[in-house]
Amino acid sequence: MVSPSATSVPPWAREPHVEPADPTGRTHTLLVVGPGDGQTGTAVRAVAAGWQEELGAAPVHRHDCADAAVAVDALHADLAVARVGHRVLVAGTAEACLAVRAAAVRAGLADDELRFGAVAADVRTVWCVHCSATTTAAVAAGGVVACPGCARSLLVYEHVSRRTGHHLGFMVDAEDQPWEESA
């Protein structure tokens, strides 16, 4: 068993969890990620409302986004003019939060500039080390998922890439396989 504190999987990507807003920030970008209707939309808006209350009078640029791709675009637009002292808050599913975090990390943001509120953590993206295909599935870390690229059964490992937001997947019974001659 891998100790949760020793892995790269943030606590909010294991089970739903909302981090507190950072009152030391001077300005904030708030990304509310989820379709307007339905359970996820209602839950992320509640998280956003809580954060806005915590932040009081601090300037908050709020973006309500249908999905992570829209949120990443909004993030990039804000970061292009952001000054040090800015913080980014993301409310969404863990999958959306990880995708936005990856874009933020690639843009040079540090962990102490990012806060996440994950309203669900059952779906994750898994990156196959064998063929580099990515699959999205409702699977827990430690579970097994079929790779759509190479059809191998992938063990979803307790590792999330900071730069892509994907979990690492590798062939579940790799040790039992004969070495592939053609590899």
Partner 1 sequence: MSTTAPAPTAPRTATPPTALPAPGLPAPLGAGERLALVVVAVDDSVPGVRSLSLARPDGGALPSWTPGSHLVVEVPPGAGRERRLANAYSLTGETVHPSAYTVSVLRRDPQEGAAGGSAWVHGLAVGDTVTTTAPRSAFPPVQRATRHLLVGAGIGITPLVSHLRSALRWGRDVQLVQVCRGGRGAHLDEVRALGGDRVTVLDGRAALAAHLPALLADQPIGTHLYTCGPADFMDAVLAAARALGWPESRLHLEHFGLAALDPGDPFTVTVTGGPTLEVPSGTSLLEALEQQGYDVPHLCRQGVCGECRLRVAPAASTGVHHRDLYLDDAARAAGDCLMACVSRALPDPATGRAHLEVSP
Contact residues toward partner 1 (CB under 8 A) are: 8, 24-27, 79, 82-87, 107-113, 127, 129, 159, 161-164, 166, 168
Q: How far is the CB of 107 from partner 1 (least distance, A)?
A: 8
Instruction: Give CA 136 to chain center in angstroms.
Output: 12
CB atoms within 10 A of CB 116: 24
Q: Which is nearer to partner 1, 1 or 84 (CB)?
A: 84
CB of 120 to partner 1, least distance (A): 24
Indicate the residue type of 98.
L
CA distance 10 to 95: 12
Q: What are the backbone angles phi and psi of residue 131, rounded to the nearest 5°?
A: -125, 0
Which CB atom, from 16 or from 27, has the smaller least distance to partner 1? 27
**Residue 25 vs 34, nearer CB to partner 1:** 25
Q: How far is the CB of 164 from partner 1 (least distance, A)?
A: 6
State the nearest-atom distance from the C-beta of 25 to partner 1, in Å: 5
Side by side, which strands form the sheet with 123-128? 134-138, 123-128, 167-171, 153-160, 144-146
Tokens at residue 105, please?
């990390």
Closer CB to partner 1, 7 or 45, in the complex? 7
